[in-house]
Each structure stands twice: as C-alpha cells, then as structure tokens.
Structure 1
C-alpha cells in the first residue's frame, strides 16, 4: 500500500487539487466568506462606536445620544447574527454536494483501478479514505476554510484599525504578536507529520476490525479471540500515542496563542495609560483600542484550531489523491476493435506474466504459455499447486495484463477490445465465490445489464441458470430468489455460494466461460448433477476450467497440462495418460484428493 504524502507540494497547492470538485459551488462558498467577513466587520465597528460614545455622549452626559449609541451597538450585533446565519446558509448545502461528488468519483476510481492495485492496498485504508477523509474535507470547506480566510482578514483589518488611535499602541501590539507566526510555522511542520501518521494508523485499525469481523468463525474455531484483541489493543494504543502527541502540539500552540496576546494587552495597557497621562490619548480612544484588541482575541485564538484543521484537511486530501493519481494500467484502448460475429476461439500466444512485487532475478510465473481453445471446446487446465493455473484464468478478462505475449479472442488481442465489450464476451466463476449483500436475483443476474431483472425474459434466464447450477435451494429461501443473502453471502454454505456464482456465470450467456474450480465445495452427488447440466451449456460455449478434481477433467474435450509456467502437453485425458508421466502424477494426486473428499463425506 502506498503511504506517501505529497511533501513536494505546499499546503495551498495540495489543497488546490480540490478546485475541480469545488468549482460548481464556488460562488456559494465565496458568498459564505463575504457573509462571514461582513459579520466580522460588524464586530470591528462596535469598538469605534464605543469610542465615539465614551468621548461624546457619555462624557457630556447626553442621555438621548447615549441611547442612540446603545441602539447602534444593538443593531450591529443583530446584523452580525444575520450575517453568521447567511454564512451557514450559503455553505452547508454546497459542501455536501462537494462531498457527494468526491465520494462518487472515489468509488468509481476504485472500480476502475486494476486488481493489482487492490492486491497492494488494505481495504481498511481505502474505507477510511472513502468515509473519514472525505467527510473531513467537507467539514473543512464548510467551517475551516471559510473561518481561516475570514479570521486572517479580520486580524489584518483590525490590526490596521489599531493604528487609528495611536501608532505606538498599534506597533507594540504587532511587534509582540510576531512570535505567533513563528510558532504557527513550527506547528504546521510537526502537526502535519503527526496527522498523516494518525490517519494511516486509523486505516490500519479499520483493516484489523474488518479482518476480525470477516474471520470471526476462524477466530472462534481456533480460540484466538484473545490474541486478536491483544493485537488490536497494540494497534489502538499506537494510534492513541500519536493522538496524544497531536494534542500536545495543539496544546502548546494554544499556550502561545493565549499568552502572547495577553502579554500584548499588558504592554499596551501600560503604554496607553502613559499616553493618556501625557495627553496624547483620550479615555475614549484608550477604551476603543482595548475593545478592538478584545474583538481580535477570538480570531487570534482560533488560529490554533484552524491551523490544526487545515493540516488535517491537507493530509486527508493527500490520502484521497493518492488513489486518484494511482496509475490505471488496464484501460480500454482509444480506438477499440470490435468482434462482429463472435465464435469463441481463445488463444494464449507466448504468454508471460509476473507479479509487480516479484524479485528481479525470479523467473516469470507464466513463462511462455501457448494454448488455443477451439470455438465451443471445453478445455481442462491441470497442474500442481502453485503452477499458475488461477493466474492464467485471470488474463482473458484482463483482471491482470500479460507482461509478455498476448491473449486473443477470435484473433483479436484482448487489449484491443474495450473492457465493457471484452467482459461481455467472457464470464468467470471463482473457487472463492463472492456474493454481494443483495437478493439472489440481483447476484445471479449481475452480468445482464441488458435486462430488466424483474422482466419475464430475465426470469427465464434466471431459472435456466439456477437449474444448470443445481441451485434450486434459492426458491426455498424465505423470500425465494428475492431473499437478501447477506454480506458476502456468508449466510449461505460454501457449496450454495459456489452454485450461485456458477449460475451468475451461466446467466451472463458469454462466448467464453472461465471457471476456476467452481465445484470444489460441492459434495460428489451434487457435483455430478452440476456437471451433467453444465455439459448442455458448454456444448455451445468455449470453456477453460481449472481442474482440482479428477471428476472435473471428465467435463473436458481436451486437457492442458501446466508445468513450470508452460503448457507441456495438450490432448484428451486418455492420450495424456498414455504419453505424459507428469500428467499421470498430477491425475493421481487429484484422484487421491477425490478419495479423501469421499471418505470425509461418508464419515459425515
């Protein structure tokens, strides 16, 4: 998993990557900033009114003018509240639209990125980016960004206004406040690093929870719940340690944000009293100066929180864009080829493949595979464990791309076809059958986006697929085929999940079907029924079937033997038994496994 941030980008440039998402609602956000600035200006005008009131009506004891001054302050307060309301009205709804768009694009990006990307990234890391980081960016846009811009402008405007009463007071206030910028810069450097560590640790923690939930049966069966808890506690304690370091950094910044302005107040008070005794400053002007300085205290104090919020948002943006900027190596060509009349010839031409993390001196897992499946032919693929059978089955549909050679469908390199077109021609069923938290109907008809799944035609396709896969148990579920099977289909047995996954491949009505040992979880009798039904389907469909049982080989017209990354023999079962010693060894291993399965079923 990539865990690098974007240290080469300044914080403004890093956050500027959000502009394409923010652009549609930018006028509303700017309106919110102007409303917030107007509210701040109402606050800054009040000290000027108070200074005029102290030196005028109050000094003269003019009761009517004092009442008008009080009314003016009240009006300014009401206007401030109105502008605060307008700020919220301007920014809340647009920010949720930005969040929605980022989250939608993020999910779409996850769908488009190749399987190799998902092999490297922990699901918890992706989940924390999808939910926590995007939500944090939304909250920063609504609150952090608006207040940071407005409060900085308020400080600048208010500081300039301090010179209105006396240049010495304004200069003293600014000079004493200079250390705040140094501490702010130091805070940004330290807090940014800690924030990145914290959010990455939170992603790791989410992964640990997800793994424990999905593996709860294993943990309970082996009595390892306490071990899992101890591991989780160590990870949670590591996250807690980082959060405590973040809190210390924020606390230290707050210390300076509190103490420096108070020191400035004290010095300015002494200086102001001296200036007043010298006749250079009236009581009203001194009162107005400190009213203005007090009005600036909240913007100054808020900088600590807003800076920490800014760094959180920057780190969240970095983490989100790590996914957005990840290179997608499996894409549709700019000018895709088309197969007008598909007949289902599948060919592997000198195919080489190695995983990205393979050592440089390690030989290719697939090292020059040559194999041709004739239209309508069923080919069984056999080989010892680790020979690359499953890897080979991922190449026709471009779950991975070959690193050498080519895979061709009807004479066309699969890389020259659009992914949509290619995956409409090729359907897959995996040994590890994955179902979605949806109805049986939706799971089985997943590959038929050309059908209304509730139409009569879709029902006919569904019934035929379920019948072929011997998955009639689906009709006996509480709501029949409209029963929701639950997360990953874990409410069903392994054999039931495999049969529904096989039904899904059959329902797709593909030109080529690639089956990676789809019957491994079935008992012998059910497997025989499924194989019998499959023969009818495979009579008109090209099929590549990974065989881990000798009974699966019987489905095939021909058998291909994968050895040391290459196809070393192709022929009928009988021919290979006669001509290949390695094939006899592999088949005997499969037969031994079959015997163990049968004995286990008898014992049950």
Structure 2
C-alpha cells in the first residue's frame, strides 16, 4: 500500500499550475467566465452608489418620481448581476466536465502503461480514490474557488477603493483587520495542507478495505471474519472522521477570525460614521453608500477561508494525481533498449545467438527488495529450442513464476539477457514482444465481459468464431456453449460466477487463441480434475507441437507434456534433462515428483 505522505513543504500555487496543460484547451471559456464574474461582482458594487444618489437626492428632496427611478436602476442592476453569474456558470460547465474526463482518461492510460512492479506496490483503493474523489475535487476547484479567488480579490480591491473615495477615515477603519486576517490565512494554509493530505490518503485506505472486502466476501463469510472486517472498517472510518473534524476545527478557526474582525470594523465604522453625520462632516447618503459597500464585501471576505480550504484540497488532489502520472511508464523504458539493440531488432536475429527462447546469465532481484539482499534468480542459463516444450520444476519460492514473468517483460531482468530467436527482448517494444509471447497465469483473471471477449483478448489480430471455438476446444472449455447466452454470456466480476477449473480453462483458451510463437504457462492445469486434465493435455500436445513453450509444472502429468525438464533450485538452473533422466539422476527432482515436498509456486 502506498504510504501516507505528509505535505508540509510545497507551494499550493506551484502544484496547481501543473493542471495548466489540461486547462489550456478550454482557457478561452474559463477566462471569459472569470471576466464575466468580475463584471457581475463589480455590478453589485454600483448598487451602493445608486443608494447614495437616492438618499442624498430624491429622498432628501422628497421626490417620489426620483425614488421610483432609483428603484428601477436597482432592479436592472440586480437582474444584470444575476444574468451575468448565470452566463458564467454556463460557460464553465461543459469545458470543466471535459477537463475532468481528459484527466481521468490520462490517468487510466498511465495505469495501463505502468510496470507490474508499480501495481505490486500500490493499493488499488489508493488508485481508485485518485481517479474519482481527487478528480471531483479538482473539477470543483476549477469551477468555483479558482474563479472566485480572482473575482473576490478584484471585488475587495474595487470595494476598498470605493470606500476610501467615499471617506478615507472610515476606509482606514475598515482596513484595520487586514493584517491579522492575512496572518491567519498564511498559518491556516500551512496547517490545512497537512490535514487535507492525510484525509485524502485515508479515503484511499478506506476504499482499499471496502474493495478487498467485496472481492473477498467468500473468504470473509467462509471463515466467519465479518466482525473483524467490520472492526477494521470502523477503525479506519474513525480515523477519517477524526481527520475531517480536525479540518472542520481549522476551518472554524479561520472563519471565526475572518468573520469577526471585519464585523467589528463595520460596527466601528457605523458608530464613527453616525457621529460624523451628526456633526455635519458626512452626508447620510455617503454613510449609506459606505456601509452598503462594506456589507457587499462581507461575502467576498467571509468566503476566503472556504476558498482557501478548497484550494488546499485541490492542491493535495493535484499532488496525489501527479504521483501516479510522474511514474515512469513501461513504453518509455523501451526507448533505451530499442536504441541499444535497434540494429539487431531491425536486422533480425543476432547470428551468434541460438534460436528459440534463451536465458543468458539472467539474474533478478525486485527493485524494492531490502538493500544487500541476495537476488531471487542468479546466473540462469536455459535454452528452449524452437518447437520444444520445456517444463520448469522447483520447490516453493524457487522463483519459477518470477522467471516466467521475465519473458513478457512484466519485470525487467537485473542482469543478463533473454532472447527470442536470437533477438534480445530488451531491443523489442513491449507491443511487439507481447504479440509474440502468450501467457497463462496460475491465478486466472477474467473480466466483467462475455466469455468470447475474455478469450479473444489473447488474439493479436481480429479473430472470429472459428478461432474462438478452436481455443475453447483445446482448453476443454466447451461448457461455454451451454451457458445461457453461449459465448456471449457475461461472466461477472473476476469470473466468480464460474468454478476455478472453468476460469482456468478459459484463461488457457485465451493463451492459445492467437496461435502464439512462444507460449508461457504457469501451472495451467492446477485447478482441473483428473479426467479434464487428461483431455486438456491431449489437446495441448497438438498446440505445443507448433510452438516454443515454457511450462511451470508441479505434477508429473503436466511435466509429461514437455520434451525436457529444467530444475530450478536456489535461484539457479540445477539440472536439465528428460523427465525419466532426472528421476534417475537427480534426488531433488525425484523428491519433488514424488510429492514429498509440497509446491505451490
């Protein structure tokens, strides 16, 4: 799981500026909307000036016609302000939904391109929260706080200028709280950033727990662990509640300061203004206009805390979003390899390299392994000849699954190289490599799609019903035709509506449907019953006759599918030979095949 990282030393403005590439295509509408909002807000500031004219003019001279005219002016100004704000809302709605959609699509594309090592480190709930909650916060920020931080800032400046022009003494009284308010905002911004980051990370943790509980509901019910899961949920939810309350307390503090100090200043200006009107130093209309302007600025000033809070949450969401987007994708790594091995890739196989699938002095250790820890695989040398099937056998934890994952470059070798028909796989693009190599994993994963769509996912080019039926027949998955809608039947999330053996057979069908040049199978028959296993093996022999295959095997019946066997022990290839030969000559292999040592990897 990605760990919570407190944010204390970063500029919210600098972080939010990273959104500019996504906002640039719709900048014209957003700038227009901001301009319209500024005009609408400043239109509201004209109302106090009309009131001044009415009080010092028609009201003082008892002119009813002038009062009605002033009322008409006020009505027109109110309508104009409402219409302008409506136009602003219309201008931003469509482009901002487009920005959110583009950012979500970019995040999804990046997740598809990131290496398996990244997904091994990150909890899926953290990634989901970045693609949902965080992007919703960013859309809300672009729609409201971004515009109104500018609009309210301009409104406050224009309002202060108007008040100072009306009476500079009262204007200075209103300006009195500016320094403590600014200081409070600076302190609030720093503290709120930390709490906002913590809350959004906790939402990701809670999302992960819910997702795991839903996907693992059979395990939870089977072991009666619903109470412990509910307890874990309550603990996480309680932490999130505490963090949200901390946010609320911070927001209440800044609001208390921002609301109280200006109100006190307005009260002081009112008392002083009344005294000056009584002394004849100030007209009643001027005092009304001044106080009306000050009251019109209450919302722009009061909203500062709310807008700063939303801006900090948006900055945190932006930071979390780009934590994923800044990760190095797989295909970017292809550039160096392609450059280094471009000549071999374009010109064909290396004349000095053997055809088929070859591991040459391959070593591997996980990137996040503790420093100084030994590699999982060390100096692996193995050659699977063209058209040959090689079984890979070893004890639990010997690295069999990891070795097979290196062939389609789900992980990158630490040293050495792997070649296909003499071409270093590091010199190929992943698209080319994975078009030549098909895989079937020990844990079959199916998607919420139809049976046919799941199987044909393994076909490089458009494949039809004939290829689908052939693959189903090889995998002994003809049960698919008996489903309610045949191969158009949707299998549900992770294919849990099917048995483990059915899922494994569909995964095997997916591996063979594209007639791959190279085939990597990780214990593909482990979930099958004896009779089905025998039928699948008989069909697989025909497929394996036309392809080069590496098969992780745990049972003698699977080993017999292969032409030769490689024993992986201690991260090295300890022996290579036929099944009968290794049974006679290698005690460790004989022990594994006799079942004395249980093996699941």
TM-score between the two structures when normalised by the length of structure 1: 0.95
Q: Which moved more, 1:57-66 or 1:32-41?
A: 57-66
Could you tell me which residue of structure 2 aligns to residue 255 of structure 1? Answer: 256
| Corresponding position: 1:280 with 2:281 | yes
| Corresponding position: 1:122 with 2:123 | yes
Could you tell me which residue of structure 2 aligns to residue 363 of structure 1? Answer: 374
Q: Any residues of structure 2 matched to 1:381-392 within 5 Å, and which?
A: 381-392=392-403
Alignment partner for residue 527 of structure 2, among 500, 521, 527?
Answer: 521
| Corresponding position: 1:321 with 2:322 | yes
Structure 1, residues 289-336: CA drift from partner, whole Å, max 9, x if none?
000001000111111111111111111111000001123356322555
Q: Any residues of structure 2 matched to 1:138-217 within 5 Å, and which?
A: 138-217=139-218
Gaps of 5+ in 2: none
Q: Which moved more, 1:498-507 or 1:403-412?
A: 403-412
- Per-residue deviation, 1:168: 0.9
Could you tell me which residue of structure 2 aligns to residue 397 of structure 1? Answer: 408
Separation in 2, partners of 1:319, 1:76: 43
Could you tell me which residue of structure 2 aligns to residue 554 of structure 1? Answer: 560
Whether the 8 Å CA contact 1:349–1:405 is kept in 2: the answer is yes
Could you tell me which residue of structure 2 aligns to residue 293 of structure 1? Answer: 294
Change (3 A) 1:530 1:147: same
Change (3 A) 1:153 1:449: farther
Whether the 8 Å CA contact 2:396–2:598 is kept in 1: the answer is no
Q: Which moved more, 1:396-405 or 1:6-15?
A: 6-15
Separation in 1, partners of 2:544, 2:480: 23
Q: Which moved more, 1:568-577 or 1:112-121?
A: 568-577
Alignment partner for residue 418 of structure 1, among 422, 429, 454?
Answer: 429
Secondary structure at the counterpart of residue 60 of structure 1: coil
Separation in 2, partners of 1:141, 1:349: 54
Separation in 2, partners of 1:518, 1:43: 72
- Per-residue deviation, 1:146: 1.1
Separation in 2, partners of 1:329, 1:137: 27
Secondary structure at the counterpart of residue 556 of structure 1: coil
- Paired residues, what number? 589
Q: Which moved more, 1:429-438 or 1:143-152?
A: 143-152
| Corresponding position: 1:32 with 2:33 | yes
Q: Any residues of structure 2 matched to 1:16-165 within 5 Å, and which?
A: 16-165=17-166
Whether the 8 Å CA contact 1:116–1:400 is kept in 2: the answer is yes
- Per-residue deviation, 1:341: 9.2
Gaps of 5+ in 1: 595-604
Whether the 8 Å CA contact 1:376–1:543 is kept in 2: the answer is yes
Whether the 8 Å CA contact 1:344–1:511 is kept in 2: the answer is no
Could you tell me which residue of structure 1 aligns to residue 232 of structure 2? Answer: 231
Could you tell me which residue of structure 1 aligns to residue 541 of structure 2? Answer: 535
- Per-residue deviation, 1:176: 2.4
- Per-residue deviation, 1:407: 1.0
CA RMSD of aligned residues (A): 1.7
Separation in 2, partners of 1:202, 1:213: 17
Separation in 2, partners of 1:447, 1:218: 30
Secondary structure at the counterpart of residue 178 of structure 1: helix
Structure 1, residues 491-549: CA drift from partner, whole Å, max 9, x if none?
10000000000000001221100000011000011001001000000101000000011
Could you tell me which residue of structure 2 aligns to residue 505 of structure 1? Answer: 511
Change (3 A) 1:349 1:117: same
- Per-residue deviation, 1:591: 9.1
Separation in 2, partners of 1:235, 1:366: 39
TM-score between the two structures when normalised by the length of structure 2: 0.95
